[in-house]
Copies of this chain bind each other. A is one copy, B any other.
Amino acid sequence: MMTQAIRKTRNPEQTRNDLLSAAYTEILESGFQAASLERILANTSVSKGALYHHFGTKRELGLAVVEEVIAPQLAARWFAPFAEHDDPLASLQRILEEKINTADESVIRYGCPLNNLIQEMSPLDEAFRHGLQQILDRWVEVMATALTEGQLARKVRADLEPKEAALFIVAAIEGCVGLGKNAQSVEAYQRCLRQLQLYVQSLAA
């Protein structure tokens, strides 16, 4: 009956990516439950019909954001750098140093997307919890493996239990981001990470 707002050329892949990207932002800013599909659509000029063509429910969209946006992002920023050298503590120090120096405004304002969703969704939705846990597991595993190799190279204290220490380091990182976020203070974030650096230093052989 009426002329439709037109997307002259179709590009389903791009449409899907646009939705994922806008949903990621909306979820980061508002949380998942308070994330509004209407706002996501308004920010993408994608229609509701298109959204529900690509994703069956809001929940599916959220899970896709976890697996296809958040997971790769964290992997690139935190996991990948470990693969480079045989000295995991040096790698970790370098990563932390970089986080301290380039303390992102977005990190201070909105915190870590992974941690945000953990606190909000893990008690409410098992699928979310599982998706998030997979990311955590990989993170801990990458770090533990690196620590073990560091022990073989005599660069990490032999009495250290890699898996336990890795778990703690991940916890500490998320804690630092959380405190910096509530203080809305780059400095608090940096000070907190500096203490983590001192801890990491103490793990050297």
CB distance from A147 to the nearest CB of B (A): 12
This chain: copies in complex: 2
- Given known A31-B31, A109-B123, contact A167–B191 (CB-CB < 8 A): yes
Contact of A164 among B34, B116, B194 (CB under 8 A): B194
CB proximity to B under 8 Å, residues A148-198: 164-165, 167-168, 170-176, 178-179, 181-184, 188, 191-192, 194-196
CB distance from A39 to the nearest CB of B (A): 14
CB proximity to B under 8 Å, residues A100-133: 109-111, 115-116, 118-120, 122-124, 129, 132-133
Give the complex CA separation of A110 and B118 in angstroms.
10
Chain B residue at minimal CB-CB distance from A112: B119
CB distance from A174 to the nearest CB of B (A): 5
CB distance from A70 to the nearest CB of B (A): 13
| Residue A136 CB within 8 A of the other chain | yes
Contact of A171 among B118, B167, B176 (CB under 8 A): B176
Give the complex CA separation of A96 and B184 in angstroms.
28
Tell me if B178 and A115 are in contact (CB < 8 A).
Answer: yes
Tell me if B33 and A182 are in contact (CB < 8 A).
Answer: no
CB distance from A38 to the nearest CB of B (A): 16
Give the complex CA separation of A174 and B172 in angstroms.
8
- Given known A111-B119, A120-B119, A123-B109, contact A192–B171 (CB-CB < 8 A): yes
Tell me if B195 and A122 are in contact (CB < 8 A).
Answer: no
